[in-house]
Structure 1
Amino acid sequence: MSPTQPSRILTHDAVMTMLSAAIAEAENHGQPQCIVIVDASGELLGEIRMTGAKFLSRKSARSKALTAASIRAATTAIPDAVRQAIGMATGGHMTGLPGGLPIMIEGECIGGIGIGSGSGDQDVAVATAALKAIGADI
């Protein structure tokens, strides 16, 4: 067994492409959004609070991105029965709110994206547009 393995990383070009696509989708909905992108370890790579987005939604968007990267699934995959406990146990860093999606390339998680400030459906649509822009698994 090898002590190392190759892995993909999310480049700054991909982050900028995702931010641009997410902004465009949010504008199509007429809903300014907070957009946060993290790498697979939860490190912040890109973030923007669009003009008019709710400033507290920045915090929930970050939690959504962290959650999606950590569980390698949509934030809504966290069972209802444990959402509150997980949120409390992590100091609010994990959430089951809609709008957090993992960034998957050929089955490998390379990060997470979190969107906040709109409805759950709007948040998911904006995140999905960002993933499509880089050809990520949907």
Structure 2
Amino acid sequence: MTDFTTPTRTLTHAGVMKMLTAAVQKAEEMGQPQCIVIVDASGVTLGQIRMTGAKFLSLKSAATKACTAASIRAPSDAIPEAVGPAIAAATGNAVTRLGGGLPIFIEGDCVGGIGIGSGTADQDKDVANAALSAIGARDS
């Protein structure tokens, strides 16, 4: 290896499917249909689903939460309230401080983000954490 490249860990389609399945199962258990979006470390959507009955506009917020978490490598609600509107404006609303977005860390490497929308922030986080657990990932 040279000083010009680094090894890159990526989230596979099998991991994405396992996460989506676990997230849907958790949402069904709690009786709250959800929008679920999983992105890679650069914000490209790898998988998404809008469960029957989930709010259709929540698909947009879930995608923004996932991208935010992947970008800042922290939960989407970690952005301080005081700077939230300015960051949203500066990025054309590509960043949010709404709860429900978590980064996906595998063995210390951030491989992406997951965003959940349509429930309360706590419900969204519970569904996201169920998805992370399914592949042995963490949010930090």
* TM-score range relative to shorter protein: over 0.9
1:23 aligns with 2:24: yes
Tell me, which stretches of 5 or more residues in structure 1 are unaligned? Answer: none
1:107 corresponds to:
108
The alpha carbon displacement at 1:107 in A equals 1.3
2:10 corresponds to:
9
1:92 corresponds to:
93
**Alignment partner of 2:116: what SS?**
strand
Q: Which amino acid aligns with 1:66?
A: C
1:73 aligns with 2:84: no
Task: Please give the TM-score of this superposition, normalised by the length of structure 1.
Answer: 0.98
Task: Please give the TM-score of this superposition, normalised by the length of structure 2.
Answer: 0.96
Aligned length: 138
Q: Which amino acid aligns with 2:43?
A: G
The percentage of counterpart residues that share the same residue type is 67
CA RMSD of aligned residues (A): 0.8
**Alignment partner of 2:83: what SS?**
helix
Q: Which amino acid aligns with 2:69?
A: A
**Alignment partner of 1:115: what SS?**
strand
2:133 corresponds to:
132
Q: Which amino acid aligns with 1:129?
A: A
